[in-house]
A and B are shown apart, each in its own frame.
Chain A
């Protein structure tokens, strides 16, 4: 399955929306950089049945979002990021 990486805030860019409307159900979505602001949008809760969500810890921390991660989003560090890439067959960055 695909590991989708989203690095843009859903309030600023359509990258997350395009990712979610395109990607095959069962794929994973990793939020990094400003993509972690998706934690504050309802999109994660709406789409959790189709996608497995991850968020990069250091990017959440940098933006003061650590306490605001929706249930079901797994917070990972860079070592977890590396494992995710290794465990998925392919990677797509939604820039």
Chain B
């Protein structure tokens, strides 16, 4: 395996359940964690719906993968950026979304927020820092 550490960004713009992209992109993120790259997740447009709290898929008879997001911190995924404009357009706030955290081993396992709310211009600047941008 190469010694390179690249900046990988996973861009999520699609809602969950109507299509499989949300779940299958999460599978890439989880497997990718083993490669110890510098990972950032971005949620914008309908992608912000992936993190909405209180999902119940029993009636739809589909696998509920929403709990997987809360495990991201354990996989060293600590940088999750959410587009504010996308939330505003959809009448959502951060309170409607899962509260995702990670534990910083360098600060006595202090719990920290993984989610950062940003505007589109900040997102654009963030994307310009990446090496690999994967879209699903």
Which residues does A use to contact B, with CB under 8 Å?
1-2, 14-15, 18, 21-24, 27, 90-95
Contact yes or no, A23 B133, CB < 8 A: no
7 additional A-B pairs beyond A21-B85, A95-B135, beta carbons within 8 Å, are A1-B128, A15-B13, A21-B120, A22-B83, A24-B125, A27-B124, A90-B128
Contact of A23 among B85, B124, B136 (CB under 8 A): B124
A-side binding surface: helix, strand, loop or mixed? mixed
In this complex, the interface size class of chain B, counting residues with CB under 8 Å from chain A, is: 10 to 19
Contact yes or no, A18 B128, CB < 8 A: no
Bound-state Cα–Cα, A2 to B132, Å: 11
User: Which B residues between 17 and 53 are near A, CB-CB below 8 angstroms?
Assistant: 44-45
| Interface membership of B92, Cβ < 8 A | no
Bound-state Cα–Cα, A2 to B5, Å: 19
Contact yes or no, B44 A18, CB < 8 A: yes
Smallest beta-carbon distance A18→chain B, Å:
6
Contact yes or no, B13 A92, CB < 8 A: no
Smallest beta-carbon distance B84→chain A, Å:
12
Report chain A residues within 8 Å CB of B133: 2, 90-93
Contact yes or no, B135 A22, CB < 8 A: no
Smallest beta-carbon distance B120→chain A, Å:
5
Contact yes or no, A22 B123, CB < 8 A: yes
Report chain B residues within 8 Å CB of A91: 133
